[in-house]
Amino acid sequence: MLTYIARRLVTAVLILLGASFVVYQLTALSGDPLHDLRASNAPNKDQLIQQRIDLLNLDVPAPVRYFQWLGGAVRCVIPTQCDLGYAINGQPVTEALGRAMGMTILLVSAAAVLAIVIGVALGIVTALRQYSTLDYGVTFMAFLFFSLPVFWVAVLLKEFAAIGFNNFLRDPHIPLQTILLIGLVSAVVWFVCAAGTLPRRFGAAAIGFVLAAAVMWVLSATGWFATPGLGLAVIALTGTAIAFGTTLLAAGLRNRRALYAALASAGAGVVLYFPIQPLLAQATGLMIFLLAVATVLAGLAAGYLMGGYDRRQNMSAAAITAFLTGGLILLDRYMQAWPAYMDNSRINGRPIATIGSQTPNLRGDFWIHGLDTFTHLLLPTIALLLISLASYSRYARSSMLEIMNMDYIRTARAKGLSERTVVMRHAFRNALIPIATIVAFDIGGLIGGAVITENVFAFAGMGQLFIKSLERVDPNPVMGVFLVTGIVALVFNLIADLVYSALDPRVRVKA
Amino acid sequence: MRFGRTSKAIGVAAAAVLALSACATAGGGSEETGTAGGSQAGGSISVAETNAFSSFNSESAQGNVDINGKIAYMTRGGFYHIDNELNVVRNEEFGTYEKVSDDPLVVKYTVNEGVTWSDGTPVDAGDLLLTWLIESGYANDAKTNEDGKVTSGTSYFDYAGDTSGLALTDQPEVGDDGRSITLTYSKPYADWEIAFGGLSDGGIGAPAHVVAEKAGLADEQALVDLIQGLKRGDPDSPAEANDQLQKVADFWNTGFDTKSLPSDTSLYLSSGPFVVDSITPDQSITLVRNDSYTWGPDPKVDEITVRFIGAAPDQVQALKNGEVDIIAPQPSADTVELLQAIDGVNVDVDDQLAYDHIDLNYSGVFADPDVRQAFMKVVPRQAIVDRIVKPLKDDAAPLNSQFFVPAQDAYAESAENNGSSAYDKVDIDGARQLLDGREPEVRIMYNKDNPNRADAYALIQESAEKAGFKIVDGGLGASDWSAALGDGTYDATIFGWTNPGVGVSGVPQIFKTGAGSNFNGFSNKKADELMDELIVTTDKAKQDEIIMQIDKIVWDSYYGLPLFQSVGLDAYNSNRIEGVKYQPNQTGVFWNFWEWGVKE
């Protein structure tokens, strides 16, 4: 395995070298980096030109200049020694790149994770119920979103999800017809999702209608949108549901030990809800991270202590439940900070933002800043999500369909395995293998490619840096962006291959 | 083994729990949640701007971007500002200036006692001297050839403005109190009242003590001594380059350029009502009240945040969503319509001093006057006005002078005599005759992110191609087109000029041979002579007469065409703020920022 990784790394470095040479030449030769000075009428024009030539080593031919650049770039192995040269305006590329990279990662990471999780889940579910109304519905929506231009989605989102929703928040009261409309939409969704006979599906639709309308009515009547929160009751209910859900998927409800472990994790979360509040009031990012680690460890411990013949099942069910319940408590804490955030004079009761990544000069604690990031990232994340969701769900669906028709699935069924075991153990894992490659490609692409979204939402990220530098014939920032996207793409390809061997023993044997 | 794993897990968990106590925020948290950010007595106002802040020096060639000038306007003291009726309003609390004598013209500038930079250092004669040196080009002795290449001598400060006014002054005399300088002009100078220290030109922009220190001089006095020891630069007998002065100039030229807030606070000292508090690169810049400031109008708000949003629709949505309170996007019918549909937003649509124009290079494909004339014949000016300005302003008509706007008395006469009537209508046949079968390829550069320019380009392209021109789209993005001006990569360019509205020294800045903003290479001996005469003429009627002559020369040499007078637009959230007034010149809505207030 080690030789395999080493071999892959060497190949990756060679690919990076070749590609960076080509990109450098293409950028350097695409125009004249002195063009803005050449015909300038400034009396000290020659001096300015000389300054820029010195700054960017323009007196050296581009192929040689590449190696000068490479000399600096190679030293990036030691982070403090990094030298990626200067942009045309004299700014060090490492500085510009660091800033842009932070912005882009901020922008795309949530969208990427959500798109993968939701997309794959949708794909699997639609594959399991091929040619059902649900399948057709999801397929229709997937293609609809896939074909929407992102800038248009962005403008619509700004108009309705930001401006419209903020207007609504001034008086968070939902009128009756809107409640009914939401109920109807919910009814349609339930109808589509439900399986079985027509009367049963209409029954589901009725439940969906009543449920959604009731929830909306309660939320509206209690002014929930102004002072949101989950409360202990909702956390306890949802936690129990999560415990049952994860056990169902990870171990099957017949595995009582797993179910008890999961329920114990959820219960621990509920018990700890009040004691943890004073600690959360002083939260920092590091603390939340450590708490998350502790939560997962506690879940694992709970599963382990429950014993039984297959502890791994207990542990994963309990750990996932613990993590999600912890997430609920976190969400609840963010909601507690919401009224303070809304009242902040810089927010002025209009939380959902249309531009930028933060409210300038917002002062507040960890939770206020967390909410601020959330309100700024919400719209661009939705815009990116809608578009990448489609491809994931399609890939996952076709991959799952292919697996479900395999001989070994029939064998598994024939030997009497439960449908859960067949789907989760035998089909799902194998269906993930091709998706791993696509995910790897997409993450590389996402980091370099959110150009339009960055533009519409006034995010100064990698895409903007790349485009603007390219327009100025400024190779150094372009190379910086290329280096980052190139490395990310290669690393994720490597990860994909490693995940391959983890998921598919046949690959391991070959390597 | 099992026991080992369990104890390990417990151990890690215990360590993690212990670590949590270490990484909690200092002090209690929940009370802080309730407090609103910052001192909010006067409230804060957020303004959207198109360009991103890039330098604390708005007067250098690199830093000369509108937003940098606006930040300087709010963070600098100055002797006067221009109000929205284009009057010169002096700020006697900052300092005074008076004409001591008419012949020779002598003007004395005095900074009041107690006026300081935000680090406590007084604003004094050293600062005035340095600003004078930069804006007068006194020490420069560079000689340039026709291409603008320096052939001999040195040009020190890379000043973006026109030096021709203050170049008439001799080495200033520093007053005994060390707070005044006296400028003596060698000739009468038309614009003496707005020649020096105005807020819209960056005020007294360079803190001499900082520049001295950064340039490696001992202290401000050393810089003063250096300046006072300088001889007027003579391009015909250039002196040896002055190393010390070169260092001072090098620092001034680039030392204040930054996209983020420098850790060295001396780089952004303020002598005005506000001081820069924080910058998020390419996103926003926040100014807060300068506590020591007492010399001038007292701003009502405590904080002004400028956010950088490129596209007009995005600005409108940000205003609608309350993220910004004031926007002043490039007006278009769509934008005005969008804005007028928003409740609680006050929209001002009015004339500007700026005008859009298409300039033809006196080189390349347009070196031939016939080609220039042919091109001018095919520019559909009426159609452009109908498309761009009419939807905003019913009585709009093409602008027929390169120098006057209809609001000025001299416009009608100048427009009648300068030959502009030949280009009232598109004349495809006339253009074809002039081209005589040639099919010149014309690359037109414009700001493609500006919908008005893109519209104008499209109309011109359509019309010009009928006459046989091959039009190449050379449009550049918002951040790049201005850098491309005058760089020879295009043959014609569509852009806008913004005149200061007062004074006549803007004329040579654009039309004089080799001047800083003469991007198309216009050069006419007679016009140069007239402009030399213009800047020493103090009589208004005589000034107009001279400009009319220049106007005719410019039209006769097929310079290009003025298209239309721009319509200005600003909009603000009138539910929340008040005191915002439309201003036709380049300072825009910022001109009376001290009157902006947040409603209760």
pLDDT > 90? residue B492 = yes
Mean per-residue pLDDT for A482-500?
82
Residues A353 and A490 in one domain: no
Min Cα–Cα distance to chain A from B408, Å: 31
Contacts of A101 in chain B (CB under 8 A): none
- Which of these three, A426, A444, A462, is where a domain ends? A444
Residues A429 and A381 in one domain: yes
What is the per-residue pLDDT for B599? 87
pLDDT digits (tens, 9 = 90+) for A333-388: 999 999 999 888 888 888 999 988 888 888 888 999 999 999 999 999 998 888 88
Residues A76 and A103 in one domain: no
Asked if ipTM goes beyond 0.85, one says no
Contacts of B38 in chain A (CB under 8 A): 345-346, 361, 363
Q: How confident is the model at residue A73 (pLDDT cuts 50, 70, 90)?
A: confident
Q: How confident is the model at residue B2 (pLDDT cuts 50, 70, 90)?
A: very low
pLDDT > 80? residue B384 = yes
The amino acid at residue A127 is A
Residues A420 and A497 in one domain: no
Sign of CA dihedral B377, B380, B381, B382: positive
Other CB atoms within 10 Å distance of the CB of residue A509: 8
Min Cα–Cα distance to chain B from A158, Å: 7
pLDDT > 50? residue B324 = yes
pLDDT > 50? residue B39 = no
Residues A48 and A167 in one domain: no
Mean per-residue pLDDT for A140-153?
88
Min Cα–Cα distance to chain A from B499, Å: 19
Q: Which of B568, B552, B280 is nearest to B419 (CA)?
A: B552
What is the per-residue pLDDT for B600? 73
Q: Is A188 inside any structural domain?
A: no
Which helix H or strand E contains A184, and what residues bound it? helix A176-193
Assess whether the previous peptide bond of A505 is cis (omega < 30° from 0). Answer: no
Give the pair of three-digit tokens for residue B399.
């602008």
What is the per-residue pLDDT for A46? 64
Q: Is A302 inside any structural domain?
A: yes
Cβ under 8 Å to B: A residues 170-199: none
Other CB atoms within 10 Å distance of the CB of residue B300: 18
Residues A112 and A241 in one domain: yes
Q: How confident is the model at residue B71 (pLDDT cuts 50, 70, 90)?
A: very high
Contacts of B17 in chain A (CB under 8 A): 294
Residues A72 and A115 in one domain: no
Contacts of A45 in chain B (CB under 8 A): 148-150
Are A287 and B23 inside 8 Å of each other by CB?
Answer: yes
Domain ranges in chain B are: 80-254, 358-378+424-495+505-565
Residues A296 and A329 in one domain: yes
What is the per-residue pLDDT for A449? 57
pLDDT digits (tens, 9 = 90+) for B198-219: 888 888 888 999 999 999 998 9
Residues A433 and A329 in one domain: yes
Are A368 and B33 inside 8 Å of each other by CB?
Answer: yes
Whether the model pTM is above 0.80: no
pLDDT > 90? residue A34 = no
Higher-confidence position of A33 and A216: A216
pLDDT digits (tens, 9 = 90+) for B363-379: 888 999 999 999 999 99
Contacts of A456 in chain B (CB under 8 A): 311, 314
Q: How confident is the model at residue B28 (pLDDT cuts 50, 70, 90)?
A: very low
Rounded to the nearest integer, the mean pLDDT of chain A is: 86
pLDDT > 90? residue A184 = yes
Q: How far apart are the C-alpha atoms of B286 and B276, rounded to whole Å?
A: 6
Q: How confident is the model at residue B32 (pLDDT cuts 50, 70, 90)?
A: very low
pLDDT > 80? residue A62 = yes
Q: How confident is the model at residue B33 (pLDDT cuts 50, 70, 90)?
A: very low
Q: How far apart are the C-alpha atoms of A266 and B512, rounded to whole Å?
A: 80
Which class in CATH covers the domain with range B358-378+424-495+505-565?
Answer: alpha beta
Q: How far apart are the C-alpha atoms of B341 and B343, rounded to whole Å?
A: 6
List, in sequence order, every residue forming a beta bridge with B327; answer none if it has no partner: B48, B571
- The total domain count for chain A is 2
Residues A56 and A122 in one domain: no
pLDDT > 50? residue B26 = no
User: Is residue B317 within 8 Å of residue A158, measured between CB atoms?
Assistant: yes
DSSP, collapsed to helix, strand or coil, labels residue A274 as: helix
Q: How far apart are the C-alpha atoms of A18 and B139, rounded to whole Å?
A: 51
* Lowest-confidence region among A24-28, A39-43, A233-237, A259-263: A39-43
Min Cα–Cα distance to chain B from A55, Å: 13
Residues A388 and A488 in one domain: no
Mean per-residue pLDDT for B51-56?
86
Q: How confident is the model at residue A47 (pLDDT cuts 50, 70, 90)?
A: low
A292 shares contact with chain B (CB less than 8 Å) = no
Considering chain A, what percentage of its residues have pLDDT values greater than 70?
Answer: 95
User: Is residue A422 within 8 Å of residue A412, measured between CB atoms?
Assistant: yes
Domain that holds residue A75: 2-83+473-503
What is the per-residue pLDDT for B287? 95
Q: Is A31 inside any structural domain?
A: yes
What is the per-residue pLDDT for B235? 82
Q: Is A321 inside any structural domain?
A: yes
Among candidates B13, B38, B318 on the partner chain, residue whose Cβ is nearest the Cβ of A297: B13
User: Is residue B184 within 8 Å of residue B169, measured between CB atoms?
Assistant: yes
Mean per-residue pLDDT for B130-144?
86
Residues A402 and A298 in one domain: yes
Q: Which CATH superfamily is domain B80-254 in?
A: Dipeptide-binding Protein; Domain 1 (3.90.76.10)
Give the pair of three-digit tokens for residue B23.
């990484």
Buried b (16+ CB within 10 A) or exposed e, A245-258: bbbbebbbeebebb
What is the per-residue pLDDT for A494? 82
What is the per-residue pLDDT for A310? 81
* Lowest-confidence region among B35-49, B382-396, B429-443: B35-49
Rounded to the nearest integer, the mean pLDDT of chain B is: 85
Residues in CB range of B382: below 8 A, 6 or more apart: B398, B424, B425
